[in-house]
Amino acid sequence: MGLKALDYETLNENVKKVQYAVRGELYLRASELQKEGKKIIFTNVGNPHALGQKPLTFPRQVVALCQAPFLLDDPNVGLLFPADAIARAKHYLSLTSGGLGAYSDSRGIPGVRKEVAEFIERRDGYPSDPELIFLTDGASKGVMQILNCIIRGEGDGILVPVPQYPLYSATISLLGGSLVPYYLEETANWGLDVNNLRESVAQARFKGITVRAMVIINPGNPTGQCLSEANLREIINFCYQENLVLLGDEVYQQNIYQDERPFISARKVLMDMGPPVSKEVQLVSFHTVSKGYWGECGQRGGYFEMTNLPPQTVDEIYKIASIALSPNVPAQIFMGLMVNPLKPGDISYEQFVRESQGILESLRRRARIMTDGFNSCKNVVCNFTEGAMYSFPQIRLPPKAIEAAKQAGKVPDVFYCLKLLEATGISTVPGSGFGQKEGVFHLRTTILPAEEDMPAIMSSFKKFNDEFMDQYEDNWNRSRM
């Protein structure tokens, strides 16, 4: 008998090509060290509850009641659950076709999709059609489904920002497509220059690639920048001219830490621009319960909204969704609760507002603490985290450090991050996992560690960094003398 049934050699090549640094080498090493007893601070993934952020009380009450509806029949239920949570649980249960344990419509519970549409309309001022909103097991699944529809082969290119959240590069690899990078300008606060876009598209076409779609992540991950309305208009015009479908990853829309550029959805700008653009440009917008101030990553709840896609395409996407039967129902209820929040006068309203504001205000403070902390370090330059959950400082590695990395067989920023991990227990993701300009190095960390832990973490980082820089710069200086 020759090769075994499933040997490494006979694996799908696309699988082998996939990289997903967020849970790659650094994370695995950090997990090993944790097992050995070292205290690790995991800042590799936007996972708020893992770093002590508490879930909001009201949604948990509602979903717990939906899980165990026999509680609703118990006369003592009011001792543990407020009346508005009880009412809301009954509301969501009535929208299901058999409670949490039944497959829902493959697109998600119609009543919840209606609530999502109403949320979008309130947010943007334009009506939204629930039939064009599909709930998914997390926004990532939605992204994969849409890219799977678009990518026919390696001749199809998807414009992706660099740096980007590596879900995009990984999915494009898995599907056998081509990633067409467009570079964000670090010196201009990670701004998006349409000329960079044109350049990237031209280069791709020159290589024979058909550019099909453009991904924007707004607010950005890992970069945090919030796109201005003018920028969004430019992007939409660009998609109109170049015949691209716009994929708007807007999962961080509630994480905004400055007031100059509030969040504006791609859909709102598209509609504002009026016909023909508003009727022609194809757009898919993504959202989630994992981020914002909810941080309910473990629920795996998300949705995508389609604009200007032909009905037959929508049918095909529905067909694919139906193979997976349905998204998980508890997360659909979380989504309903997120888009249809409590109102003044509701019993639980004040507690809900207090909890939410508390989280958002703290995130804003932590964004500032972290940016300032990084900027106080030697050879580190950090743009302000305008939104999302990450800080993406640039680490100016001295040539000797780069050399040492090479000797160790490691990419320079991986080398730095591993040393940081071993010295301080801070687990980050090297910038190479997100893409960066040649010879420029970064790391991504989250702003999620508890506020009271922040000063210690930043000073621990500074101590490591400044010593690292002294060590490798000294060598450099000495060699020049």
Partner 1 sequence: MRRFVIGSARSLIERSRQNYQSQRPLISSSYRLLSSTPAADSPSSSSSTMAPPVALNTINPKVIECEYAVRGEIVTLAQKLQEEIKTKPDAHPFEEILYCNIGNPQSLGQHPITFFREVLALCDHPTILDKSETQGLFSADSIERAWKILDQIPGRATGAYSHSQGIKGLRDTIAAGIEARDGFPADPNDIFLTDGASPAVHMMMQLLIRSEKDGILCPIPQYPLYSASIALHGGTLVPYYLDEATGWGLEVSELKKQLETSRSKGITVRALVVINPGNPTGQVLAEENQKAIVEFCKQEGLVLLADEVYQENVYVPEKKFHSFKKVSRSMGYGEKDLSLVSFQSVSKGYYGECGKRGGYMEVTGFGADVREQIYKVASVNLCSNISGQILASLVMSPPKVGDESYESYSAERDGILSSLARRAKTLEDAFNNLEGVTCNKAEGAMYLFPRIDLPEKAIKAAEAEKKAPDAYYCQRLLTATGIVVVPGSGFGQVPGTWHFRCTILPQEEKIPAIVTRLTDFHKSFMDEFRG
Provide the minimum distance between the beta carbon of 456 and partner 1 in the complex, in angstroms, as a whole number. Answer: 18
Residue 102 or 456: which CB sits closer to partner 1? 102
Provide the minimum distance between the beta carbon of 296 and partner 1 in the complex, in angstroms, as a whole number. Answer: 5
Edge-to-edge strands of the sheet including 443-446?
A: 390-391, 443-446, 429-430
32 binds partner 1 (CB under 8 A): no
Q: Which of residues 383-442 bind partner 1 (CB under 8 A)?
A: none
57 binds partner 1 (CB under 8 A): yes
- Mind spelling out the 3-state secondary structure of the chain? CCCCCCCHHHCCHHHHHCCCHHHCHHHHHHHHHHHCCCCCEECCCCCHHHHCCCCCHHHHHHHHHHHCHHHHHCCCHHHHCCHHHHHHHHHHHHHCCCHHHCCCCCCCCHHHHHHHHHHHHHHHCCCCCHHHEEEECCHHHHHHHHHHHHCCCCCEEEEEEECCCCHHHHHHHHCCCEEEEEECEHHHCCECCHHHHHHHHHHHHHCCCEEEEEEEECCCCCCCCCCCHHHHHHHHHHHHHHCCEEEEECCCCCCECCCCCCCCCHHHHHHHCCCCHHHHCCEEEEEECCCCCCCCHHHCCEEEEEECCCHHHHHHHHHHHHHCCCCCHHHHHHHHHHHCCCCCCCCCHHHHHHHHHHHHHHHHHHHHHHHHHHHCCCCEECCCCCECCEECCEECCCHHHHHHHHHCCCCHHHHHHHHHHHHHCEECEEHHHCCCCCCCCEEEEECCCCHHHHHHHHHHHHHHHHHHHHHHHHHHHHHHC
Q: Which residue shows structure tokens 């997976």? A: 324
Provide the minimum distance between the beta carbon of 138 and partner 1 in the complex, in angstroms, as a whole number. Answer: 7
88 binds partner 1 (CB under 8 A): no
452 binds partner 1 (CB under 8 A): no
36 binds partner 1 (CB under 8 A): no
338 binds partner 1 (CB under 8 A): no
Residue 76 or 187: which CB sits closer to partner 1? 76
331 binds partner 1 (CB under 8 A): yes
Provide the minimum distance between the beta carbon of 318 and partner 1 in the complex, in angstroms, as a whole number. Answer: 9
Of 76-84, 118-126, 185-193, 400-408, the window that binds partner 1 (rule: CB under 8 A) is 76-84
Which of 18, 33, 273, 423 is close enough to bind partner 1 by CB under 8 A?
18
Provide the minimum distance between the beta carbon of 183 and partner 1 in the complex, in angstroms, as a whole number. Answer: 17
Of 42-50, 112-120, 185-193, 450-458, the window that binds partner 1 (rule: CB under 8 A) is 42-50
Provide the minimum distance between the beta carbon of 397 and partner 1 in the complex, in angstroms, as a whole number. Answer: 27
Provide the minimum distance between the beta carbon of 276 and partner 1 in the complex, in angstroms, as a whole number. Answer: 7
Which of 117, 227, 245, 338 is close enough to bind partner 1 by CB under 8 A?
245
Provide the minimum distance between the beta carbon of 202 and partner 1 in the complex, in angstroms, as a whole number. Answer: 4
Question: Distances from the Cα of 449 to the Cαs of 56, 295, 429, 455, in angstroms?
Answer: 17, 13, 15, 10
296 binds partner 1 (CB under 8 A): yes
Q: Which of residues 188-227 bind partner 1 (CB under 8 A)?
A: 198, 201-202, 204-205, 208-213
242 binds partner 1 (CB under 8 A): yes
Provide the minimum distance between the beta carbon of 184 and partner 1 in the complex, in angstroms, as a whole number. Answer: 21
Which of 37, 39, 323, 409 is close enough to bind partner 1 by CB under 8 A?
323
Residue 74 or 474: which CB sits closer to partner 1? 74
Count of residues near partner 1 by CB under 8 A: 113
342: Cα separation from own chain's centroid: 25
Query: Based on the number of CB atoms within 10 Å of its own CB, is 36 exposed (0-12), middle (13-18) or buried (19 or more)?
Result: exposed
Which of 68, 83, 194, 408 is close enough to bind partner 1 by CB under 8 A?
68
404 and 468 Cβ atoms separated by less than 8 Å? no
12 binds partner 1 (CB under 8 A): yes
337 binds partner 1 (CB under 8 A): no
Which of 29, 33, 49, 423 is close enough to bind partner 1 by CB under 8 A?
49
Q: CA geometry: angle at 391 spanning 120 and 54, to 5°? A: 60
Q: Which of residues 358-387 bind partner 1 (CB under 8 A)?
A: none
Which of 25, 33, 60, 234 is close enough to bind partner 1 by CB under 8 A?
60
308 binds partner 1 (CB under 8 A): yes
Which of 32, 80, 125, 456 is close enough to bind partner 1 by CB under 8 A?
80
Q: Which residue shows structure tokens 């504001």? A: 357
159 and 182 Cβ atoms separated by less than 8 Å? yes
Provide the minimum distance between the beta carbon of 471 and partner 1 in the complex, in angstroms, as a whole number. Answer: 33
Which of 39, 70, 275, 481 is close enough to bind partner 1 by CB under 8 A?
70
Provide the minimum distance between the beta carbon of 291 and partner 1 in the complex, in angstroms, as a whole number. Answer: 12
Q: Which of residues 98-157 bind partner 1 (CB under 8 A)?
A: 98-104, 106, 137-138, 140-141, 144, 148-152, 155
Provide the minimum distance between the beta carbon of 379 and partner 1 in the complex, in angstroms, as a whole number. Answer: 31
Residue type, 442: H
